[in-house]
Structure 1
Amino acid sequence: MKVGDELPPLSVRITRADLVRYAGASLDFNPIHWNEKVAKDVGLPDVIAHGMLTMAVASRVVAEWTGDPGRIVEYGSRFGRPVVVPNDDEGALVEVTAKVTKDFEDGTVKVNISAAFEGKSVLTGAFARVRVS
């Protein structure tokens, strides 16, 4: 793992069924994540994925690359825009890429992560610090 290394890209589909499972696991039952009327009434185009679910999906690119999610010692991001999840069998496609951008003397590297939905970034400043040795 060295600066400039690109991680294998990851494509993940998020469906309404995923939103139900995530709501149950996280106890986040905000209706913008399952009720189209409520989502539209508050100005959203439709039901949206939970922001933390989107972050979790994006972190998989690093976890799969290392083969051990325990090697991720720090992870951060801000939400840029929502992932709108249609009411169909296809769901929303989130495409994730990542690149090693810094090597630290403590045996860790910084990996910048990009996550996009419909060609637009959904996370801002997403990064992971990963133990490599």
Structure 2
Amino acid sequence: MRAGDRLPPLEIPVTRTLIVAGAIASRDYQDVHHDPELARQKGTPDIFMNILTTNGLVGRYVTDHFGPTAVLRKVSIRLGAPNHPGDTMVLTGSVEATDGGTAVVRVTGTNGLGTHVTGTVTVTLPAEEATP
């Protein structure tokens, strides 16, 4: 793991089930995450993914790359364009900095509307895995 290393892109189909399941799993019962009609009444074309689901997917993206022993130390994200059913979110990332077994990874997620999420993830690997 070196500064400048790129993570391979990950395509995530944004399904209605993913949006609703993520909201339920995170106990976010806001109607805009499960009721299309109420979401439309509030000015959005359909239900949309909550930030906690996005946060989990960003974490998964990084740990899928670095492996099961990777430990997320910090996840800091900012949302942009919403993820609606039927779209695809594509996560990309690059290692910004390393310090021993710790790396800071910049992550971006885009969809058909634009940039859904940007942020950084600080991840630590056990010493024997951190060296190239």
The structure where strand makes up a greater share of residues is 2
Per-residue Cα deviation, 1:84-110 (whole angstroms, up to 9, x for no partner): 12xxxxx32110000001122x53111
Give the counterpart of 2:89 among 53, 72, 94: 94
1:12-31 correspondence to structure 2 within 5 Å: 12-31=12-31
Equivalent pairs: percent with the same residue?
A: 27
Tell me the secondary structure at the aligned position of residue 122 of structure 1. strand
Cα distance in 2, alignment partners of residues 80 and 16 from structure 1: 19
Does the alignment pair 1:81 with 2:76? no
2:120 aligned partner: 127
For structure 2, list consecutive stretches of 5 or more residues without a partner in the other structure.
Answer: 128-132
1:1-133 correspondence to structure 2 within 5 Å: 1-68=1-68, 70-85=70-85, 91-104=86-99, 106-118=100-112, 120-124=114-118, 126-132=119-125, 133=127
Structure 2 CA distance for partners of 1:69 and 1:50, relative to 1, 3 Å: farther
Between stretches 16-25 and 56-65, larger displacement belongs to: 16-25
For structure 1, list consecutive stretches of 5 or more residues without a partner in the other structure.
Answer: 86-90
Q: CA RMSD in A?
A: 1.7
Tell me the secondary structure at the aligned position of residue 6 of structure 2. coil
Instruction: State the aligned residue count.
Output: 126
Cα distance in 1, alignment partners of residues 58 and 69 from structure 2: 12
2:130 aligned partner: none
Q: TM-score, normalised by structure 1?
A: 0.84
How far 1:68 moved relative to its partner? 2.0
